Amino acid sequence: MDIGLEYRYENEVLIPTLLVQIELESKTKLLLQRRPSCAQGATHFQTPHLGTRSYRIEGMIPTIPVRSPLTLCTNNSSIRPTTTAMCTPTHRVPHVLTVAGSDSGAGAGIQADLKACAALGVYCSTVVTAVTAQNTVGVQGIHPVPETFVAAQLRSVLSDMQVDVVKTGMIPSIGMVKILCQSLQEFPVRALVVDPVMVSTSGDVLADSSIVSVLRKDLLPVADIVTPNLKEASILLGGVPLETVAHLRSAAKLIHDLGPRYVLVKGGDLPAPFDAVDIFFDGQEYHELLGPRVETRNTHGTGCTLASSIAAGLAKGLSMFEAVQVAKRFVESALHYSKNISIGRGVQGPFDHLLKLKQNTNSFSLRRGFDKSDLLLYAITDSRMNKKWGRSMVEAVKASIKGGATIIQLREKEVETGEFVELALACKEICHSKGVPLIINDRVDVALASNADGVHVGQSDMQARTVRALLGPDKIIGVSCKTEEQALQAWNDGADYIGCGGVFPTSTKENNRTIGLDGLKAVCLTSKLPVVAIGGISADNVPSVMEIGAANLRGIAVVSALFDHDCIFSETMKMYSAVTHCRSRTK
Ligand SMILES: Nc1ncnc2c1ncn2[C@@H]1O[C@H](COP(=O)(O)OP(=O)(O)O)[C@@H](O)[C@H]1O
Ligand SMILES: Cc1ncc(COP(=O)(O)O)c(N)n1
Ligand SMILES: [Mg+2]
């Protein structure tokens, strides 16, 4: 290949990367990689190997994968310029290489990594470091693979396949750690995720203590993230007891001092009454990743799965923190989905990684998950307006979705519970037929009974953390917030979005303090969650709202602007075009 053009997704954007192979007189082949600074015209390479020669690529560098002629020119006769090569761009698939042990029970290790990557849409290649005989009772035997053969597997994969991220699990010998570090020097990858497997969730030792020093000295300093569980963190720190969240925080800091860019200390083994809390530390800030503890025996492989899911997220171009958050939710979802399956007779069973591949029609949000773009035009129903205009709730919901509403919130304050559930079921049917999520206002019981996609709570309603524990990780939870503190609390409680307002005075909701555009902007700039603005919003003032200059303001929530009119369809259309027009301008 003289000139190649590869395409890689980064943050959902396709980036072309030029690969140029130059053959020197000494027959050595040089492979240069470069992101063209522009989509067309020449781009230059400096080749440090040969001093300050430069090479010019001429021709149109396509920003989407198409065939295109490019010519490599050079002003130096000693390098044979290649002929014009037709570029056959390849579409890269995000790729994780797992370097780990095989688990005969297939709940953890290599098998867990393969399943997690498959579920998350990432290709996963494998280097087997050991074969273990294990099941739901524990580990009955470990057979390390000869170190030279681990080296051979590493070379086979890294020399041929474009690996984005390497994830390590069980590495049973010091020699293997050194071989891995050498391989990564010869074949650099974008990121290294180290799950320092020494003691499994089941409590079995998977690597003896002799390996600790080489992990600390050789592997951790080159790791982008290290993900010890409680026992492993304790071993890495010389055996200090770790029993509380505060202990996890100090352990994260001390492990970060050993060299990894990020640390995630996993709290799956925290004693009750702690939730499954993990501490993420980036060298400056601590983040508590909260999640309700799923009451299940099926937790075999949670650590492996978390680490390979993080690797998958990085391979897809997510930031480290985004990858960790998505991975945490994925493990939680899988545990929740699998909590009652029964495989094996031991104390710790495997869980089902492939839940997302099973089109579970009952749970829209499980299948698709929360998408913050759902917040673009948030329609909140109002029975009084339906009565005033002589229409049913079902008719109102149908018309608003037809007009462009992207999410529906059923808000009922007077209706009986049984009738509310019936109404929710009818509206859910309409919403799901159009791929629109249905949120229930305040009433968690109604949301559970109708298996709606989520709940929106106010400050005086049930706390989001409790709602999360009741609904599980796959439902959408929104919280009304007026202040920055409330927005941070919502994030800490595991909410998915916040509704912020009232932005303008409104008659729809009694004694509702107006916070204005400044109040909205202050909350948006603090919030770690996507925001939807609410309160007195109409087609006329949409631009002033959407253009406050906050990237995480994802849309507007409206009631009377849609429902206090004779024709909901046309009013919704009007709002939809107003908000999409602003959204396109502020992107
Ligand atoms: N019962 C559980 N409910 C919810 N999350 C859990 C549970 N057990 C473990 N986790 C989560 O699974 C991930 C792996 O943690 P842990 O099981 O402690 O690691 P390891 O499997 O390496 O021992 C963490 O995000 C942890 O919070
Ligand atoms: C081969 C192998 N690798 C890793 C683990 C850790 O399992 P867990 O993620 O449950 O701690 C395991 N049990 N077996
Ligand atoms: Mg575990």
Strand 407-410 and strand 377-380: pairing? Answer: parallel
Place of tokens 């509704």: 499
Confidence at residue 581, expressed as pLDDT on a 0 to 100 scale: 77
Q: Which residues of 89-103 are buried (b: 16+ CB within 10 A; e: fewer)?
A: beebebbbbbbbbbb
Q: Please state whether the peptide bond connecting residue 530 to the residue before it is cis, i.e. omega within 30 degrees of 0.
A: no
Q: Are residues 45 and 156 in the same domain?
A: no
Q: Is residue 365 part of a domain?
A: no
* DSSP line for 83-98: PPEEE--EE---EEEE
Nearest to 200 by CA among 118, 70, 91, 304: 304
Please tell me the total count of domains within the chain. 3
Helix/strand/coil for 456: strand
Domain of residue 86: give its range: 2-90
The residues of the chain scoring below 70 in pLDDT are 1-2, 4-15, 22-91, 201-202, 356-369, 508-511, 584-587
Q: Which residues of 10-45 are buried (b: 16+ CB within 10 A; e: fewer)?
A: eeeeeebbbbbebeeeeeeeeebebebeeeeebbeb
Q: Are residues 317 and 451 in the same domain?
A: no
**Going by CA atoms, what residue is nearest to atom 8 of ligand 2?**
301
Q: Are residues 335 and 475 in the same domain?
A: no
* Catalytic entry in 267, 291, 301, 349: 301
Q: Is residue 366 part of a domain?
A: no
Q: Which residues of 266-283 are buried (b: 16+ CB within 10 A; e: fewer)?
A: bbbbbeeeebbbbbbbbe
User: Does ligand 1 come within 6 angstroms of the Cβ of 229?
Assistant: yes
Residues shown for the chain: 587
Half-sphere exposure of 201 (CA within 13 A, CB side): 25
* Catalytic entry in 115, 167, 266, 316: 266
Amino acid identity of 423? L
User: Does ligand 1 come within 6 angstroms of the Cβ of 275?
Assistant: no
C-alpha gyration radius of the chain: 27
Q: Output the CA–CA distances (angstroms, integers) from residue 85 to 38, 153, 298, 524, in the order listed.
A: 19, 32, 54, 50
Nearest listed ligand to the Cα of residue 226: 1
Q: Are residues 52 and 166 in the same domain?
A: no
Confidence at residue 85, expressed as pLDDT on a 0 to 100 scale: 44
Distance from the alpha carbon of residue 104 to the mean position of ligand 2, in angstroms: 11
Return phi, psi of residue 135, to 5°: -150, -155
H or E segment and range at residue 379: strand 377-380
Residue that finishes a domain, picked among 59, 74, 90? 90
Residue pair 194/260 in contact (Cβ under 8 Å)? The answer is yes
Amino acid identity of 23? E
Confidence at residue 293, expressed as pLDDT on a 0 to 100 scale: 83
Nearest listed ligand to the Cα of residue 110: 2
Catalytic residue check, 73: no
User: Does ligand 2 come within 6 angstroms of the Cβ of 170?
Assistant: yes
User: Does ligand 2 come within 6 angstroms of the Cβ of 489?
Assistant: no
User: Does ligand 1 come within 6 angstroms of the Cβ of 197?
Assistant: no
Catalytic residue check, 121: no
Half-sphere exposure of 353 (CA within 13 A, CB side): 27
Q: What is the CATH number of the domain that holds 172?
A: 3.40.1190.20
Nearest to 288 by CA among 527, 493, 457, 465: 493
Residue pair 442/457 in contact (Cβ under 8 Å)? The answer is yes
Residue 174 is encoded by which pair of tokens? Answer: 């010091």
User: Does ligand 1 come within 6 angstroms of the Cβ of 383?
Assistant: no
Q: Output the CA–CA distances (angstroms, integers) from residue 50 to 185, 351, 407, 436, in the order listed.
A: 21, 54, 59, 58
Q: Are residues 163 and 136 in the same domain?
A: yes
Q: Is residue 392 part of a domain?
A: yes
Nearest to 179 by CA among 210, 201, 147: 147
Distance from the alpha carbon of residue 168 to the mean position of ligand 2, in angstroms: 11
pLDDT tens for 422-451 read 999 999 999 988 889 999 999 999 999 999
Helix/strand/coil for 19: strand
Q: Are residues 388 and 454 in the same domain?
A: yes
Q: Are residues 144 and 117 in the same domain?
A: yes
Q: Is 390 left (phi over 0), alpha (psi -120 to 50) or beta?
A: left
Residue that finishes a domain, picked among 65, 90, 115? 90
User: Does ligand 2 come within 6 angstroms of the Cβ of 165?
Assistant: no
Distance from the alpha carbon of residue 290 to the mean position of ligand 1, in angstroms: 11
Which atom belonging to ligand 1 lies closest to the Cα atom of 331? 12
Place of tokens 């007026």: 482
Please, what is the angle between helix 393-403 and helix 568-586, to 10°?
40
Q: Are residues 403 and 473 in the same domain?
A: yes
Distance from the alpha carbon of residue 144 to the mean position of ligand 2, in angstroms: 14
CB count, 10 Å around CB of 208?
11
> Looking at the whole model, is its pTM more than 0.90?
no
Q: Where in 458-580 does DSSP place strands (E)? A: 476-481, 497-500, 531-534, 553-558
Confidence at residue 291, expressed as pLDDT on a 0 to 100 scale: 75
Residue pair 102/130 in contact (Cβ under 8 Å)? The answer is yes
pLDDT tens for 179-217 read 999 999 999 999 999 999 987 766 777 777 789 999 999
Residue that finishes a domain, picked among 57, 90, 123? 90
Q: Are residues 460 and 565 in the same domain?
A: yes
Q: Is residue 186 part of a domain?
A: yes
From CA 109, how far away is CA 115, in angstroms rounded?
10
User: Does ligand 2 come within 6 angstroms of the Cβ of 201?
Assistant: yes
* Catalytic entry in 87, 117, 124, 304: 304
Q: Are residues 462 and 499 in the same domain?
A: yes
Nearest listed ligand to the Cα of residue 229: 1
From CA 470, how far away is CA 377, in angstroms rounded?
27
Q: Where are the alpha helices (DSSP H) in 503-548?
A: 516-526, 542-546
User: Does ligand 2 come within 6 angstroms of the Cβ of 103?
Assistant: yes
Q: What is the CATH number of the domain that holds 466?
A: 3.20.20.70
Confidence at residue 362, expressed as pLDDT on a 0 to 100 scale: 44
Residue 584 is encoded by which pair of tokens? Answer: 């396109």
Catalytic residue check, 418: no
Q: What is the DSSP letter of 513?
A: -
Q: Which of 199, 265, 266, 298 to mutate to test the pocket of ligand 1 (most atoms within 8 A of CB)?
A: 266
Distance from the alpha carbon of residue 271 to the mean position of ligand 3, in angstroms: 14
Confidence at residue 336, expressed as pLDDT on a 0 to 100 scale: 83
Distance from the alpha carbon of residue 9 to the mean position of ligand 2, in angstroms: 31
Catalytic residue check, 203: no
Q: Are residues 336 and 420 in the same domain?
A: no
Q: Is residue 460 part of a domain?
A: yes
Catalytic residue check, 346: no
* DSSP line for 294-305: P--S--BTHHHH
Distance from the alpha carbon of residue 213 to the mean position of ligand 3, in angstroms: 23
User: Does ligand 2 come within 6 angstroms of the Cβ of 101?
Assistant: yes
Q: Are residues 159 and 258 in the same domain?
A: yes
User: Does ligand 1 come within 6 angstroms of the Cβ of 279?
Assistant: no
User: Does ligand 1 come within 6 angstroms of the Cβ of 494?
Assistant: no
From CA 195, how far away is CA 177, in angstroms rounded?
13
Nearest to 162 by CA among 128, 187, 198, 134: 187
Catalytic residue check, 514: no
Distance from the alpha carbon of residue 370 to the mean position of ligand 2, in angstroms: 30
Q: Is residue 416 part of a domain?
A: yes
Confidence at residue 203, expressed as pLDDT on a 0 to 100 scale: 74
Enumerate the β-bridge partners of residue 85: 70
Strand 3-10 and strand 90-91: pairing? Answer: parallel
Strand 377-380 and strand 191-194: pairing? Answer: unpaired
Q: Is residue 325 part of a domain?
A: yes
Q: What is the CATH number of the domain that holds 9?
A: 2.60.40
Q: Is residue 367 part of a domain?
A: no
Q: Which of 302, 306, 325, 329 to mutate to test the pocket of ligand 1 (most atoms within 8 A of CB)?
A: 302
